[in-house]
Amino acid sequence: MPLLLGEGFNHVQIGVLTVNKKDGKDRLLKGHFDVCMGTDENQIYPCHAGCILNMMEKRESDETGDINVDEMERMWDIATSKGLANRAISLIE
């Protein structure tokens, strides 16, 4: 989502996951997922990816309160096994 903010300002969209172009049945998603939020193809916001992973894992957590680091590491391992990764940040020059 390139934004022209004027000289000396750059918009850097952070907090976006990328879906690796992974072949095989383990690929979680394909195509555009967050069109209304301006992400590119094969990108998704972590909150949406988390909802999908929670559904797949049959988790019934409201995700409020203390953070269970062990559980988050387990969920990240599942996410990466499904082809999700942190998107590389690139600056618009």
Residue-range definition of the domain harbouring residue 23: 17-86
Note whether residue 25 is domain-resident: yes
| The predicted structure's pLDDT at residue 11 | 65
Note whether residue 12 is domain-resident: no
Note whether residue 4 is domain-resident: no
Has residue 72 got a pLDDT over 80? yes
Note whether residue 48 is domain-resident: yes
Instruction: Kindly state the average pLDDT of the residues 57-74.
Output: 84
Note whether residue 6 is domain-resident: no
Q: What is the pLDDT of residues 6-61, one digit of tens each?
A: 777 766 667 788 887 655 555 666 666 666 666 777 788 888 888 888 888 998 87
Both tokens of 63, joined, read 């995700």
Give how many domains the chain has, as a whole number: 1
Note whether residue 55 is domain-resident: yes
Q: How far is CA 41 from CA 34, 49, 54, 70, 89, in A?
A: 9, 14, 22, 31, 15
69-81 vs 46-56: helix crossing angle, rounded to 10? 90
pTM for this prediction? 0.68
Note whether residue 93 is domain-resident: no
| The predicted structure's pLDDT at residue 41 | 74
